[in-house]
Amino acid sequence: MNIFRLTGDLSHLAAIIILLLKIWKTRSCAGISGKSQILFALVFTTRYLDLLTSFISLYNTTMKVIYIGCAYATVYLIYMKFKATYDGNHDSFRMEFLVVPVGGLACLVNHDFSFLEILWTFSIYLESVAILPQLFMISKTGEAETITTHYLFFLGLYRALYLFNWIWRFYFEGFFDMIAIVAGMVQTILYCDFFYLYVTKGQGISL
């Protein structure tokens, strides 16, 4: 564990909690892409199946359970509890345009053609593009609530910190995972446009 990975995980946790609290407190998911949240729930489900097969640390297990729990709770709030506030017309990105190519790529480019490894690779590739429906929705509505921009900021920051974590781990531990690194770069690059607006505007954002 290193400082980049720890702050990255905390940033990710902050993003997930911010979103969940925003929806719960305002009792509204206006401006939130339910499709991105479904994709994140799918990312965590396919990546954390190893909860059933291996124990790495209390921290690792605890965080995985929290991530999965919050992801499904968020999807539940959007599609069930506060369904009336879900803006389906603007959340029109076709998820199959992401899931199908990512699924195919995971079968072609992976470290090992085994069930868990393919699912892990699928989750890594999917996570790198899972935010697209949300960014697409903001570009369609033309604005985003301030709290939503904080959610996106911490979500984008987490994988950027992971890039530094991988530099650290390569230098100090010789750890190197090309699949995670390339996908992490793609994921972070997708936020660049948003980061620029977030830093320059500070307030509500129009992509």
Partner 1 sequence: EEEVPEKDEL
Query: Is residue 12 a contact point for partner 1 (CB under 8 A)?
Result: yes
CB-nearer residue toward partner 1: 76 or 175: 175
Q: How far apart are CA 162 and CA 167, in angstroms?
A: 9
Query: Is residue 150 a contact point for partner 1 (CB under 8 A)?
Result: no
Could you tell me the smallest distance in angstroms from the CB atom of residue 104 to partner 1?
20
Query: Is residue 120 a contact point for partner 1 (CB under 8 A)?
Result: yes
Which residues are paired to 85 by β-bridges? Answer: none
Q: How far apart are CA 44 and CA 195, in angstroms?
A: 24
Return the closest-CA partner of residue 4 out of 175, 181, 157. 157
Question: Measured in whole angstroms, how far is the alpha carbon of residue 91 from the centre of its chain?
Answer: 17
Encoded tokens for 59: 């921290």
Could you tell me the smallest distance in angstroms from the CB atom of residue 116 to partner 1?
9
Three-state DSSP at 164 gives helix
Query: Is residue 60 a contact point for partner 1 (CB under 8 A)?
Result: yes
Stretch near partner 1 under the rule CB under 8 A, chosen from 27-35, 49-57, 81-89, 196-204: 49-57
Region 92-111 residues binding partner 1, contact defined as CB under 8 A:
111
Size of the site for partner 1 (CB under 8 A): 20
Supply angle C-alpha 74, 146, 97, rounded to 5.
50
Q: How far apart are CA 168 and CA 4, in angstroms?
A: 8
Under a CB-based contact definition with an 8 Å cutoff, are residues 86 and 78 in contact? Answer: yes
Could you tell me the smallest distance in angstroms from the CB atom of residue 155 to partner 1?
13
Query: Is residue 127 a contact point for partner 1 (CB under 8 A)?
Result: no
Query: Is residue 162 a contact point for partner 1 (CB under 8 A)?
Result: yes
Could you tell me the smallest distance in angstroms from the CB atom of residue 111 to partner 1?
4
Kindly state the DSSP code that residue 47 receives in the 8-state scheme. Answer: H
- List interacting residues with partner 1 (CB under 8 A): 5, 9, 12, 50, 56-57, 60, 63-64, 67, 111-112, 117, 120, 162, 165, 175-177, 180
